[in-house]
Amino acid sequence: MVQTTELTIEDLKAKIKRLNSKGGQLKMELHDLAEGLPTDFDKIMEVAGRTYELFSELDELKKQLKAQEQAK
């Protein structure tokens, strides 16, 4: 989950960029699983859980970035 320490705007942007890249990879993994159904259906919940956690963290970081940029 998101760390409670205050990150700088530059840190937030870098972390958001990394998570966006990982998010793209997870979206493709979900897409590939869906196309291959019913094969590997048992992996869907694990990949979906990782995807949810990543995008949840990404959403929180974007909110933090917006708040910091507006506070400037």
Give the pLDDT band of residue 72 (cuts 50, 70, 90).
confident
Residue 22: which pLDDT band, with cuts at 50, 70 and 90?
A: very high
| 17, 49 Cβ separation under 8 angstroms | no
Round to whole Å and give the CA distance between 5 and 8.
10
Q: How confident is the model at residue 5 (pLDDT cuts 50, 70, 90)?
A: low
Q: For position 4, what pLDDT does the model report?
A: 46
Q: What integer is the mean pLDDT of 5-12?
A: 87
